[in-house]
Chain A
Amino acid sequence: MTKDATYNYLLHLADNALILAQRNSEWCGHGPVLEQDIAITNISLDLIGQSRSLYQYAAELINEGTGAATEDTLAYLRDTRDFKNCLLVEQPNGDWAQTILRQFFFSTYQFFLYQRLQQSGDAHLAAIAEKSLKEVTYHVRWSSEWVIRLGDGTEESRNRLLNALDELWMFTGELFVPSAYESEAFKAGIGVDVSALKANWEQRVNEVFEEATISIVSTSAWMQSGGKEGAHTEHLGFILAEMQYMQRVYPGCEW
């Protein structure tokens, strides 16, 4: 196991959490109802917390006492091609249905991932997974309930949910195709074999969709990929431009 692979693996997990947090936080102050404004912000806060733990650990790993890398240099000073998040999390919020479905797909994936990651040979990573799993369990429940509500709500909400499915389905395949660093991390007993999560994920998605009275369109549809290796959609550049603005304009400052 190379140190690089562990480092990249941690960045991948952290970037997933941070980029989705950044997206969800766009809702803060603009949610459809006050209680849900608070709920989506909570999820955003949980995800920022997860990303921070992972970045801090990644920084520790490459610093070896030099202290040059921090959670903030990793989040704010890498460019688009270095970000390793999956394409799903960088997709725009769209309407509430799209945000909900993106959350449901991702949280369900993260749930099975962290469940196994608790047994990671890396004790530090296992501890982060264990702590995060409690939060993610709630995210899955909350987003599942909303998928059901929208699917089984009004004709409009159902149509919007189906639209969201159309928009997002093509970004779900990537979750279960391991990148080089994921494979290496798995072989070294540190990471999870993501291809093995697919069956569980599909089962859970199908259960919730059944209650929502909708179904997965066509499972043979083309799947987009590349995010994990830094080949992103055009959205990520704008997310980073905004997120990193202060650190780029005022380099090297304390905040």
Chain B
Amino acid sequence: MSVQELEQIFLAKIEQEIRIEPKDWMPDAYRKTLIRQISQHAHSEIVGMLPEGNWISRAPSLKRKAILLAKVQDEAGHGLYLYSAAETLGTTREQTINDLHSGKAKYSSIFNYPTLTWADIGAIGWLVDGAAILNQVMLCRTSYGPYARAMVRICKEESFHQRQGFDILMVLSKGTPEQRAMCQDAINRWWWPSLMMFGPHDSESTHSEQSTQWKIKRMSNDELRQKFVDMIAEQVKVLNMTLPDEHLKWNEETKHYDFGGINWTEFWNVVKGNGPCNKQRLDARRKAWDEGAWVREAASAHAAKRKMRQEKQIA
């Protein structure tokens, strides 16, 4: 079959909403886009463990400690599913991780902001996991089978995370003046970076058009962002807190919330590596990987020895 014919079959499948599976023929650019996106997503789960992990040892109650620990562990699991999904496209986990450590691969910029108070753990669950869910719910219907299936599993856990985050803030919002101030401060700091999570405006987004055509993406950055603003603008009222945007206002005509301009200079700056924690996050990941090298070597050396002994026994 010629490449043109193969491509037609591929596009017809996309058209008919038939999932593309690992053994199917796919255009090189489709494969590359997916590898880039899935590994970026995997890295975000793993790097995302760090800002929240920062509060495990200091969680204010045993119940909160257990919930937070389980949450961060979930994120490790998400990373694992996603690395596996990327592997179905012909990469290895090691390669993918090397790309992260060399700075070649990106991860979500949101994790380059510091967690300064306990309220940040609530704000991350509510806003960051909340923003992630909107993206991930869309990806449950993405055209590549293993990616879509990984997303279905992940989405179930993410909605727990968001509720738990909201619950942390809810308790703070009903607490002492200090707790309420802590709550508002965290919302103030995390609001704008979470809006940036949806990426550049549709007009500026380089990969969007092709991804939409291939049904990797099914909603645009700006559509998802608007959905998020509409959702959070309502939920923040339950907390009796405010969002730090004087332009935020319900628009009766569009039936959406209008909101102020995003600081894109800050966004690109953090993407380029100049966020408050870019260096620490990458250093922490590299350190864990490098210091774990001897452990991984020992495990494979032992496995090889065992295999040899077993083979000898059989022989």
- Answer whether A25 and B60 are a contact pair too, CB < 8 Å, given A34-B76, A34-B80, A250-B176: no
Q: State the CA gap A230–B174 with chains docked (Å).
A: 37
A157 and B295 contacting across the interface, CB-CB below 8 Å: yes
B58 and A245 contacting across the interface, CB-CB below 8 Å: yes
Q: State the CA gap A245–B64 with chains docked (Å).
A: 14
B175 on the A face (CB < 8 A): yes
B65 on the A face (CB < 8 A): yes
B64 and A35 contacting across the interface, CB-CB below 8 Å: no
Q: Which residues of B contact A95 (CB under 8 A)?
A: 291
A153 and B302 contacting across the interface, CB-CB below 8 Å: yes
B248 on the A face (CB < 8 A): no
Q: State the CA gap A117–B178 with chains docked (Å).
A: 44
- List A151-207 residues whose CB lies under 8 Å from chain B: 152-154, 156-157, 160
Distance in Å: Cβ of A100 to nearest Cβ of chain B: 9
Identify which of B53, B77, B295 contacts A38 (C-beta below 8 A): B77
A254 and B291 contacting across the interface, CB-CB below 8 Å: no
A110 on the B face (CB < 8 A): no
Q: State the CA gap A38–B76 with chains docked (Å).
A: 7
Q: State the CA gap A30–B54 with chains docked (Å).
A: 11
- List B53-68 residues whose CB lies under 8 Å from chain A: 53, 56-66
Q: Which residues of B contact A30 (CB under 8 A)?
A: 53, 284, 287-288
Distance in Å: Cβ of A85 to nearest Cβ of chain B: 15
B57 and A22 contacting across the interface, CB-CB below 8 Å: yes
A250 and B76 contacting across the interface, CB-CB below 8 Å: no
A242 and B73 contacting across the interface, CB-CB below 8 Å: no
B294 and A160 contacting across the interface, CB-CB below 8 Å: yes
Q: Which residues of B contact A29 (CB under 8 A)?
A: 49-50, 53, 72, 76, 284, 288
- List B230-267 residues whose CB lies under 8 Å from chain A: none
Q: State the CA gap A62–B285 with chains docked (Å).
A: 45
Q: Which residues of A contact B188 (CB under 8 A)?
A: none
Distance in Å: Cβ of B129 to nearest Cβ of chain A: 16
Distance in Å: Cβ of A70 to nearest Cβ of chain B: 9
By size class, the interface of chain B is 35 or more
A33 on the B face (CB < 8 A): yes
Q: State the CA gap A156–B46 with chains docked (Å).
A: 28
Identify which of A31, A72, A245 contacts B61 (C-beta below 8 A): A72
B298 and A42 contacting across the interface, CB-CB below 8 Å: no
A65 on the B face (CB < 8 A): no
A41 on the B face (CB < 8 A): yes
A154 and B301 contacting across the interface, CB-CB below 8 Å: yes
By size class, the interface of chain A is 35 or more
A51 on the B face (CB < 8 A): yes
- List B68-92 residues whose CB lies under 8 Å from chain A: 69-70, 72-73, 76-77, 79-80, 83
- Answer whether A32 and B57 are a contact pair too, CB < 8 Å, given A149-B299, A153-B301: no
Residue of chain A at shortest CB distance from B294: A156
Distance in Å: Cβ of B146 to nearest Cβ of chain A: 18
B80 and A38 contacting across the interface, CB-CB below 8 Å: yes
Q: State the CA gap A44–B67 with chains docked (Å).
A: 12
Q: Which residues of A contact B65 (CB under 8 A)?
A: 25, 48
B171 on the A face (CB < 8 A): yes
Q: State the CA gap A45–B66 with chains docked (Å).
A: 6
- Answer whether A156 and B298 are a contact pair too, CB < 8 Å, given A41-B72, A45-B66, A55-B62: yes
Q: State the CA gap A45–B168 with chains docked (Å).
A: 19
Q: Which residues of A contact B63 (CB under 8 A)?
A: 52
Q: Which residues of B contact A45 (CB under 8 A)?
A: 66, 69-70, 73
Q: State the CA gap A157–B297 with chains docked (Å).
A: 9
Identify which of A26, A49, A156 contacts B57 (C-beta below 8 A): A26
A71 on the B face (CB < 8 A): yes
Q: State the CA gap A51–B69 with chains docked (Å).
A: 15
Contact with A along B174-195 (1 / 0, CB 8 A): 1110110000000000000000
- List B38-59 residues whose CB lies under 8 Å from chain A: 46, 49-50, 53, 56-59
Q: State the CA gap A152–B65 with chains docked (Å).
A: 36
Identify which of A22, A96, A246, A254 contacts B295 (C-beta below 8 A): A96
A253 and B176 contacting across the interface, CB-CB below 8 Å: yes
A75 on the B face (CB < 8 A): yes
Distance in Å: Cβ of B179 to nearest Cβ of chain A: 6
Interface, chain B (partner A; CB < 8 A): 46, 49-50, 53, 56-66, 69-70, 72-73, 76-77, 79-80, 83, 118, 168, 171, 174-176, 178-179, 284, 287-288, 291-299, 301-302, 305
Interface, chain A (partner B; CB < 8 A): 18, 22, 25-26, 28-38, 41-42, 44-45, 48-49, 51-52, 55, 71-72, 75-76, 95-96, 148-150, 152-154, 156-157, 160, 242-243, 245-247, 250, 253-255
25 contacts between A and B (CB under 8 A): A28-B56, A28-B76, A29-B76, A30-B287, A32-B296, A34-B76, A38-B76, A45-B69, A48-B66, A51-B62, A72-B61, A95-B291, A152-B305, A153-B297, A153-B298, A154-B301, A156-B297, A157-B297, A243-B57, A243-B58, A246-B118, A253-B60, A253-B176, A254-B175, A255-B118
The list of the 9 closest CB pairs from A to B, nearest first, reads A32-B292, A153-B298, A157-B298, A246-B60, A29-B53, A32-B295, A29-B49, A255-B60, A153-B302
